[in-house]
Amino acid sequence: MSEDPTARRARARRAIGRALTAPRAAAVAGIAFALLLGTMLVLVRLSVPAGAEGSVTWLDDASRRQSLQLALNLAPYAGITFLWFIGVIRDNVGEREDRLFATVFLGSGLLFLAMLYSSMALSAALVVTYTSGAASNDVATFARSTTHALTSIYTVKMAAVFMISTSTIAMRSASLPRWLALLGFLLGLTLLIGSNFAPWADMIMPVWVLLLSVVLLIGTYRRPEAGREHER
């Protein structure tokens, strides 16, 4: 007994809708995360002068403190969108997910977020204690040096591992265009090896996530046309 054409088309539309939900959600979450993280990093770079790892006297400048506080207020929202981004990327890969790289992907993403939150929380404590006079200059300098090391070394390296593992999963599962996966792999290696030599290297991750998200979003608007052609 042949299936009713109307029911067949309805089932096809539901299947297309399920296929589009994860990529579109990943795209939206990724764009939000990239914009929030990029804004945070720019504000931090502008508020903390170059070569200030061992000094906190720049906190006497009210405009610098306000820029840093704005960056700190954006951090929780960047973390929320990043978690959503991780979740929908894994959902998009689905059963094609490789357990080895999936473990590295998830672990590096969570470590990146944990260290980002830790450095932001330490920066917030530094601003409050220094401006209120509750901490000595030595304690404030120690807190600033710790924040700098946590952000510029460990957080950035985990971001690089996240990019490499994401790109590797994408290449193995064909869930992203091959050129984008290769670009992410190369940029991740650059960030992993050369972040110590380029002050603005930490901007690589948000730029890559933004590009990835835009490509995903464009792809979700092209697929319905293909679905309708198949349905005919």
Integer angstrom CA distances of residue 76 from 71, 167, 184:
10, 25, 25
Please say whether the beta carbons of 167 and 161 come within 8 A: no
Give me the pLDDT at residue 54, please: 56
Ranges under pLDDT 50 in the chain:
1, 12, 14-20, 224-232
- pLDDT tens for residues 76-107? 999 999 998 888 777 766 666 667 778 888 99
Please say whether the beta carbons of 127 and 65 come within 8 A: yes
Q: Any idea what the Cα angle at residue 49 is, between residues 45 and 51, rounded to 5°?
A: 110
Give me the pLDDT at residue 187, please: 93
Give me the pLDDT at residue 56, please: 72
Whole-angstrom Cα distance, residue 168 to residue 34?
Answer: 20
Give me the pLDDT at residue 87, please: 82
For residue 28, is it left (φ>0), alpha (ψ between -120 and 50) or beta? alpha
Give me the pLDDT at residue 3, please: 55
Give me the pLDDT at residue 28, please: 87
Instruction: Report pTM.
Output: 0.79
- DSSP codes joined into one string, 95-106: GG--HHHHHHHH
Give me the pLDDT at residue 18, please: 47
Question: What is the amino acid identity at position 90?
Answer: R
